[in-house]
Amino acid sequence: MEFAPLFRNLPPYVVALLLLQPLAGCSDQNSAANRSTNVQTAAEPTPKATAKLVVAFGDSLYAGYGVLPSESFPTELQKALTARGVSVTVQNAGVSGDTSSAGLRRLAFTLDGLTRKPDLFMVNLGGNDMLRGIAPAETRTNLIAICKELKKRGIPIMLTGMVAAPNMGGDYARGFNPIYADLAKKFDATLYPFFLDGVVSDPALMQADRMHPNPHGVDVIVNKITPLVASTLGK
């Protein structure tokens, strides 16, 4: 059977999610390799005392799935901030396949492995929860626990949100979509509502899997989010 005619009239985001829901589990096969990478990242030399420290803590969208390390979101964000005159180190703490519960389990390890307290902790989790159909209430509970731990340690938070795919249904979307704005308000966190905004609907900016941005897509995301990160660091 040819799948193209079945999906021709569907929006790209819906097609991507319909095709790639099984890959959420497959991504976990890469988690061990990514986790070892994160351990090494946490042991990097201490940045200059005057430099800001930003930690990008999330799933494959932060980890840099399908692109070179030099093309990943954290690396490109650091370049963009530096170009704006911000002295900063952006540390990649992304793990492909992570759900909000997996992120919560490794949060303390990540924080304890840092050389110093971050000036900003960016969180991008929940996309894999949505792909797996995990109840939004569970995702909310896990993200609340993450935010509580960060607030307890006095670490500023930035949430980069996700949006439920249309094929998840209206009830799921009503439970999932408000999570990030609600938590941003509750924990006085900076909010970037949708990480893939302006990218996921453009095939030229996405990898062949239609789920992860290609290097051009990463650049678009970075250009859109950098001013918000810079202003947050400047507060």
CA distances from 231 to 155, 158, 162 (A): 16, 12, 22
CB 31 within 8 A of CB 96: yes
Distance CA 2, CA 122 (A): 41
CB 214 within 8 A of CB 206: yes
- From its phi and psi, is residue 154 left (phi > 0), alpha (psi between -120 and 50) or beta? left
Residue 14: its pLDDT value, please? 45
Query: What are the domain boundaries of the chain?
Result: 4-32+52-234
Q: Is the dihedral of CA 32, 37, 40, 44 positive or negative?
A: negative
Mind listing the pLDDT tens digit of every residue in the chain (235 residues)? 333 333 334 444 444 444 344 334 334 434 433 433 343 343 344 445 679 999 999 999 999 999 999 999 999 999 999 999 999 999 999 999 999 999 999 999 999 999 999 999 999 999 999 999 999 999 999 999 999 999 999 999 999 999 999 999 999 999 999 999 999 999 999 999 999 999 999 999 999 999 999 999 999 999 999 999 999 999 8
Helix (H/G/I), strand (E/B), else coil: 211: coil
pLDDT of residue 50: 75
DSSP 8-state symbol, 202: -
Q: Which two tokens stand for residue 207?
A: 């990898």
Residue from 147, 168, 164 nearest 156 by CA: 147
Q: List, in order, residues 6 or more apart from 214 with CB less than 8 Å away.
A: 66, 67, 205, 206, 207
In whole angstroms, give the CA distance from residue 91 to residue 195: 18
The pLDDT assigned to 235 comes to 83
Whole-angstrom distance, CA of residue 67 vs CA of residue 152: 34
**4-32+52-234: CATH class:** alpha beta
SS3 122: strand
Rounded-to-10 torsion of CA 132, 137, 140, 142: -70
Beta carbons within 8 Å of 119's beta carbon, 6+ residues apart: 52, 53, 54, 156, 233
Q: How far is CA 184 from CA 159, 171, 181, 190, in A?
A: 7, 22, 5, 6
Could you list the active site residues?
60, 209, 212
- Write down the pLDDT at residue 11: 46
| Phi, psi at 55, each rounded to 5° | -110, 125
User: Residue 24: exposed, middle, or buried by beta-carbon count in 10 A (0-12, 13-18, 19+)?
Assistant: buried
**The predicted structure's pLDDT at residue 183:** 98
